[in-house]
Amino acid sequence: MVSPLSIVVVEEDRDRAISIVDGLRSSGEYDVHLIGNVSGLARKIAGFQPDVVLIDIDNPTRDMLEELTLASGPLDRPVAMFVSGAAGALARTAVEAGVSAYVVDGLQPDRLKPVLDAAITRFQMMRQMRTELDETRRALEERKVIDRAKGLLMKAKGIGEDRAYATLRKAAMDQGRRVIDVAEALVTAAGLLK
Amino acid sequence: MKLVSLPVAYMPLVDAAPLIVAQELGFAEAEGLSLDLVAAPSWSSVRDMLAFGRVDAAHLLSPIPVAMALGLGGVSAKVHAVSVLSVNGNVIGVSRALETRLREMGHPFDFDDAAAAGAALAAVAGDGLTIGVPFPFSMHVELLEVWASATPLADVEIDIRTVPPPLMAQALADGEIDAFAVGEPWGSVAVEKDVGALLIPGTAIWAFAPEKVLATRAEWADTEPHLLGRLMRSVYRAGRWLAREDSRTTAAELLSRRQWLDVPSELIDRALSGHLTISPSGDVREIENFLEFHNGAASFPWRSQAKWIARQICSRTNMDFAATTERAGAVFRSDLFRAAMGETEADLPGASEKVEGSITHQTAVASAAGRVVLERNVFLDGRIFDPSEK
């Protein structure tokens, strides 16, 4: 009986962290640790002596993990990014899904695969959710600005909402800009003139 | 003409300027290219995006391709450094607490004497220093090594720790690190946030240090030599434009845009002009060759530069330098640079190696048109590195 793999997940967002840990636990018997606060990251990870470290590829603190690849003499590196091993294709998929994994050199790919599969699924889900959230948020922000610009135009020119929007759109088309850019410029200018 | 879109990864730093300028001011377009610049959150991401083919070229710390050729740092893809994007541009800074102690013992913060600064810092270091750097394989680490080995800092326990540049000021404020070596604008950001003071520029340690390179996958360079040449020429011309005095304001404005660095243009101008504000009390220092994109054949990838980096890494990791010299030197592709620039007006040095550290003042060297002048490249302790010695 081999001992369960020890996995450290680096993730500051609590909900996302829980989702990843759940995903891992449901895919096998693992000893999962979570690091939420990234200060002293390398030191904390070294304390756990994990077999695998999972981290979001967009996390800038990922560079701190590179230190681990050099931890005790680079030629007998205790921790190396998995892509140096046999799991090359898997590594590529993981990187594309937005997860980077660091594993102890010599860990068998067949033991690593289920961990990565679970992580990849979760990271893909999270990434999609984050993109959707960002897009929704941006759309809302843009609509707010456009509404304010419309309001300014309606007041200044005594026109209705439809005319105000048409005016914005025409200005945008004439100048080869986006409606939101014209609206932003108008709101900023109005603020300055106050 | 239909433009070929080329994905290129970069880190949002002042020295990514040649790539941003190549795209924004039309140097890429003139070569039939449209650079799809992908901002990366970390150097490991840049490296992986390049290694896995998400991008075809990248703005990379000059030691990373060398380390990769030595089999260090995880990813094993073969990568070429086809040109040097920037020379110099780093600063070493200390916490406010260390600044106070240094001023109390009379250190003038004159910003030009690395030996004196090293001695002073060693005197106030107490039981050791933790110094933040952006990445384990970086010119920042190499400069710190040279500095420490040539000054009383050699006797101080120094812990070098990786901290992503945007978090450097915060790490200093939190007391996680006592000092840092970082590229602009992050040193100036620490000064602006009142958490640190700048002690010396990187140039005080090594006057002409290759900082970032334009890197490509070897496989891509082999299959797309024409695209590579077009990319190299557009980046070269952007660097030449950046070196012009009258480009500075435009460049600072351009880089400051939210889309690129998203910091005030005044901060970017400090690096471009070499007029640095070194402390929260507003002391200003002027540094010659603070950040070089073109002059002194800055973009030429000297094989001796790659070998110097390799020797540094080897000595730190107990690897055999003699066995790896040629392999490491070949990572800097002066041959590809010559091939790409052959069709331009660029004048190139006749040699592909030089004795690093031996040029004490501007020196004209052999070249096709006889117009290449190299800049000072001395180390603070006068050491020299002859690439032909094993």
At A26-43, the pLDDT tens digits run: 888 888 888 887 777 777
Q: What confidence score (pLDDT) does residue A76 get?
A: 43
Selected residue with higher pLDDT from B94 and A117: B94
Q: What confidence score (pLDDT) does residue A1 get?
A: 52
Q: What percent of chain A has pLDDT over 70?
A: 82
- Chain B hits for A80, Cβ within 8 Å: 74
Cα(B78)–Cα(A128) distance, integer angstroms: 32
Q: Is the pLDDT of residue A72 over 60?
A: no
Write the ipTM: 0.82
Q: What confidence score (pLDDT) does residue A134 get?
A: 86
Residue ranges of E strands in chain B: 4-10, 33-39, 57-61, 79-88, 90-95, 129-133, 158-162, 179-183, 196-201, 210-217, 275-277, 284-286, 291-292, 363-364, 373-374
How many A-B residue pairs are in contact by the CB < 8 A criterion?
A: 88
**Residues near A157 by beta carbon (within 8 Å), at least 6 away in sequence:** A163, A164, A167
Q: What percent of chain B has pLDDT over 70?
A: 99
Residues of chain B with pLDDT under 50: none
Taking CB atoms and an 8 Å limit, are B72 and A70 in contact across chains? yes
Mean pLDDT score of chain A:
80
By C-alpha distance, the chain B residue nearest A91 is B52
Nearest C-alpha of chain B: how many angstroms from A39? 8
pLDDT digits (tens, 9 = 90+) for B277-297: 999 999 999 999 999 999 999
- Chain A hits for B42, Cβ within 8 Å: 59-63
Q: What confidence score (pLDDT) does residue A102 get?
A: 73
Tally of CB atoms within 10 A around A110? 9
pLDDT digits (tens, 9 = 90+) for B27-77: 999 999 999 999 998 998 899 889 888 899 999 999 999 999 988 876 778
Q: What confidence score (pLDDT) does residue A87 get?
A: 52
pLDDT digits (tens, 9 = 90+) for A91-114: 677 777 777 777 666 666 677 778
Q: What confidence score (pLDDT) does residue A74 get?
A: 44
Q: What confidence score (pLDDT) does residue A2 get?
A: 67
Q: What confidence score (pLDDT) does residue A70 get?
A: 66
Q: What confidence score (pLDDT) does residue A85 get?
A: 46
Nearest C-alpha of chain B: how many angstroms from A162? 32
Q: What confidence score (pLDDT) does residue A51 get?
A: 79
- Chain B hits for A40, Cβ within 8 Å: 176
Q: What confidence score (pLDDT) does residue B72 get?
A: 82
By C-alpha distance, the chain B residue nearest A99 is B45
Q: What confidence score (pLDDT) does residue A69 get?
A: 67
**Residues near A189 by beta carbon (within 8 Å), at least 6 away in sequence:** none
Tally of CB atoms within 10 A around B368? 13
**CB of B117 within 8 A of CB of B98?**
no
The residue of B11, B13, B38, B48 whose CB has the most chain A CBs within 10 angstroms, and thus the best one to mutate to test that interface, is B48
Give the global pTM.
0.86
